[in-house]
Amino acid sequence: MSGRTRMSVGVAVAATTSLALVGVSAGSAISAPHATKTIAATPKLKVKVSKHKFKVHGPSAFQPGTVALTGIGKGGNGAFEIVRLKHGYTYHQLRQDIKTFGASYGPKGPSKSGLKAFHRALANSTEYGGLAPSQGQKLRGSVKLNKAGTYYLFNDSTNTPKPHPVILTVSGPKAHRAPVATSATVKATKKARWHGDKTLPAKGTIKFKNISKGMHKSPHFVDLERVKPGTTRKDVLDFFANGHGRPPFAVPGPSVDSDIVGPHQSMTLRYKLHRGSYALMCFFPDPMTGIPHAFMGMVRIVNLK
């Protein structure tokens, strides 16, 4: 088990494991003679994380706006996520619902009551993003915490969100912070598909936007796994349908994993990878069926250069 399920769970674990084998800041250009808008410093949260480790450095209270993230896999592969919860729904309930969902998987997927718990978790939370660094890896990114309120930053390295989240208190007027410059954008869209740029930087910063809506609304995450040159989307989907063991197209080496971003939200990801072909995938369980999105076709071959 790789523990890369992202508040997600069950079947997804098997999927990711098999495949796992498988800010720069641009200052505001607007400077009217009388404009004296100053750019405020961006809060930075540094998270060392794995199954048994969760150490967060940085401020726990700040104004609304962009927040910079650093994630380091320490003691194993790790993941952390930032969410906000609807009034009256507690972090404990979120954990319970995700746990119920994960435990409900049988040979035919999750049970009805499991899916109900999953829906309750999704209906009562907004996912702002996070990072899932592998052991020793350092990933950077940023999220937009634009609304005042209480946010939960939690260890998402295992199937169920770990207890003892860090509480982030966001209050006051929205801060004017430097935007994060990105050189490419990937979009998770309806019916679990990828849109956006097919050429991404091997070293740089990308934007990840979730534009899913309506009945197809779902959280998604980014998983970039290197594949052999010439590998097609069909090769990857055929493997999910019929393959076992290690995918023949897999190339060992570093990958990039985000944690989940909910509908209408976006985050940035900053990383360094080898150049080459990669499969851009998401294994979040579909809210209707519990099937990981990649199995439903949320796979796109992209070129990193």
Residues near 234 by Cβ (< 8 Å), separated by ≥ 6?
none
Selected range binding Cu ion among 27-35, 237-245, 270-278, 285-293, rule: CB under 5 A = 285-293
CB of residue 212 to Cu ion, shortest distance in Å: 8
Helices (H), the chain: 11-21, 91-103, 112-123, 233-242
Choose which of 95, 209, 293, 300 interacts with Cu ion (CB under 5 A). Answer: 293
Residue 91 binding Cu ion, by CB under 5 A: no
Q: Which stretch binds Cu ion (CB under 5 A): 56-64, 178-186, 251-259, 279-287?
A: 279-287
Question: Applying CB under 5 A, which part among 2-10, 24-32, 99-107, 289-297 lies near Cu ion?
Answer: 289-297
CB 177 within 8 A of CB 41: yes
- Interface with Cu ion includes 6 (CB under 5 A)? no
Please check whether residue 169 is in contact with residue 109, taking contact to mean a CB–CB distance below 8 angstroms. no
Q: Distance between CA atoms of 198 and 142, rounded to whole angstroms? A: 21
> Does 282 interact with Cu ion (rule: CB under 5 A)?
yes
Given the complex with Cu ion, which of 62 and 284 has the nearer CB atom? 284
Which one, 43 or 259, has the nearer CB to Cu ion? 259
300 part of the interface to Cu ion, by CB under 5 A: no
Maximum alpha-carbon separation in the chain: 67
Interaction between residue 4 and Cu ion (CB under 5 A): no
Query: Could you say whether residue 180 binds Cu ion (CB under 5 A)?
Result: no
User: What are φ and ψ of residue 233, in 5° steps?
Assistant: -60, -40
State the binding string over 237-276 for Cu ion (x if CB under 5 A, else -): ----------------------------------------
Q: Which of 105, 94, 120, 129 is nearest to 15 (CA)?
A: 105
Q: Does 220 bind Cu ion (CB under 5 A)?
A: yes
177 binds Cu ion (CB under 5 A): no
What is the β-pairing status of strands 53-57 and 80-85? unpaired
Q: Which of 180, 183, 128, 121 is nearest to 154 (CA)?
A: 128
User: Does 209 interact with Cu ion (rule: CB under 5 A)?
Assistant: no
The alpha-carbon radius of gyration of the chain (Å, integer) is 19
Under the binding rule (CB under 5 A), the answer on residue 98 touching Cu ion is no
Q: Which residues bind Cu ion (CB under 5 A)?
A: 220, 282, 284, 293
